[in-house]
């Protein structure tokens, strides 16, 4: 066993309970007319053991995968190249470029606990003004997604450059780097290891930034809580059911847990869509037999 693998084994066994703590929000007692409890999604993501465990599980899988790839030196990165399709994916060749892993930030490596507290307490949905203020001032009320802080540190020890590709605004680059640091996730340098919305002309679409990163690095793993963190091709306006089917169809299906790693987010984002006909197919419907019926 090489030193590298020994290091990985030790890190995999390291107690994740040592994750940086999330600072308490500095807010007075809630008033009585507000919701008694946060939403189910918030309970799961920010409060539950199940939510923490599934996150740690994803991070452990990612670390094991990356450790193996560092030894194997893959020919291709896990970034889809320009012109690729989901039916016929082609990947950026690696050449001899150094290794990197690319991660979304919000609810992938960092929990926006303070912002979601505000959203839950006020009952307001997401709004641009509050989110912008949060990007600028939230560094005291963030924490790592469980497992992310340990595993990002382990990736760096393996010689893999950790790069953040987020749709936070380029105008708030410095504050976002401070928040990443405050969450225990290490350093992020704009233009080197931090890419933001506004870095190019593609807005919130991340493919262009992925291609820029791929020009400098062999990207051996990506992590995200939204499918757009892997490819913009998932956000071409497909119906809910078609989008889901695209994730389950080979060869794309083979990437989950093998280069592409998904973190849970039941609180917001592109996964929270669909009416009854989207969510419950006609051939999977059931109702209890009417009283006296079926006997
Ligand atoms: Mg995210």
Long-range CB pairs of 93-98, under 8 A, 24+ apart, other chains included: 94/218, 95/218, 97/216, 97/217, 97/218, 98/159, 98/161, 98/216, 98/217, 98/218
- Is the backbone peptide bond immediately before 267 cis, with ω within 30 degrees of 0? no
- C-alpha 132 to ligand 1 mean position (Å): 15
Write the pLDDT tens digit of every residue in 17-57.
334 344 444 444 444 455 689 999 999 999 999 999 999 99
Query: How many CA atoms within 13 Å lie on the side-chain side of 99?
Result: 21
pLDDT at 36: 86
Collect residues with CB below 5 Å from ion ligand 1.
104, 106-108, 225
Write the pLDDT tens digit of every residue in 184-239.
999 999 999 999 999 999 999 999 999 999 999 999 999 999 999 999 999 999 99
- pLDDT (average), residues 64-71: 98
| Confidence grade of residue 126 (pLDDT, cut at 50, 70, 90) | confident
Q: Report the relative pairing of strands 218-224 and 99-103 from DSSP bridges.
A: parallel
- C-alpha 250 to ligand 1 mean position (Å): 25
Q: Kindly compute the dihedral angle of the four CA atoms of residues 103, 78, 203, 266, in this order, to the nearest 10 degrees.
A: -50
- C-alpha 226 to ligand 1 mean position (Å): 6
Looking at residue 272, the DSSP 8-state letter turns out to be S
- C-alpha 288 to ligand 1 mean position (Å): 39
- C-alpha 172 to ligand 1 mean position (Å): 16
- C-alpha 163 to ligand 1 mean position (Å): 14
DSSP H or E run through 218: strand 218-224
Q: Kindly compute the dihedral angle of the four CA atoms of residues 96, 161, 146, 139, in this order, to the nearest 10 degrees.
A: -150
Write the pLDDT tens digit of every residue in 244-261.
999 999 999 999 999 999
- pLDDT (average), residues 105-132: 95
Q: Which domains does the chain have, with CATH numbers?
A: 39-267 (3.40.50.1000)
Alpha helices by DSSP H, listed for the chain, are 3-13, 40-42, 49-72, 113-122, 128-137, 148-157, 173-182, 207-214, 240-248, 276-279
pTM of the model: 0.88
Is the pLDDT at 132 greater than 80, yes or no? Answer: yes
In order of 11, 23, 74, 110, 138, the CA distances from 142 in angstroms are 23, 7, 35, 7, 7
- C-alpha 152 to ligand 1 mean position (Å): 16
Helix, strand or coil, per DSSP, at residue 75: coil
Return the number of other C-beta atoms located less than 10 Å from residue 241's C-beta.
13
- C-alpha 289 to ligand 1 mean position (Å): 43
């Amino acid at each position: 066993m090489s030193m590298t693998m020994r290091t990985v084994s030790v890190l995999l066994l390291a107690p994740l309970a040592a994750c940086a703590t999330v600072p308490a929000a500095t807010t007075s007692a809630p008033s009585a007319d507000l919701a008694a409890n946060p939403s189910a999604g918030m309970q799961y993501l920010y409060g539950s053991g199940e939510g923490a465990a599934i996150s740690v599980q994803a991070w452990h899988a990612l670390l094991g995968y990356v450790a193996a790839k560092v030894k194997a030196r893959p020919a291709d990165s896990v970034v889809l190249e320009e012109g690729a399709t989901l039916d016929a994916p082609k990947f950026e060749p690696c050449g001899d470029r150094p290794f990197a892993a690319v991660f979304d930030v919000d609810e992938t490596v960092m929990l926006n606990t303070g912002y979601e507290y505000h959203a839950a307490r006020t009952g307001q949905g997401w709004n641009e003004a509050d989110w912008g203020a949060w990007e600028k001032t939230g560094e005291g009320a963030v924490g790592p997604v469980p497992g992310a802080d340990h595993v990002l540190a382990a990736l760096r020890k393996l010689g893999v450059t950790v790069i953040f590709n987020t749709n936070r605004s380029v105008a708030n680059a410095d504050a976002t780097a401070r928040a990443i640091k405050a969450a225990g996730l290490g350093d992020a340098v704009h233009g080197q290891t931090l890419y933001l919305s506004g870095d190019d002309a593609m807005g919130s679409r991340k493919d262009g930034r992925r291609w820029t990163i791929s020009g400098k690095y062999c990207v051996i793993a990506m992590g995200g809580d939204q499918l757009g963190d892997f490819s913009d091709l998932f956000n071409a306006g497909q119906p809910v059911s078609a989008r889901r089917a695209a994730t389950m169809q080979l060869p794309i299906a083979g990437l989950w847990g093998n280069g592409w790693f998904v973190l849970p987010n039941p609180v917001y984002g592109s996964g929270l869509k669909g009416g009854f006909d989207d969510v419950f197919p006609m051939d999977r419907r059931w109702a209890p037999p009417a009283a006296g019926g079926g006997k």
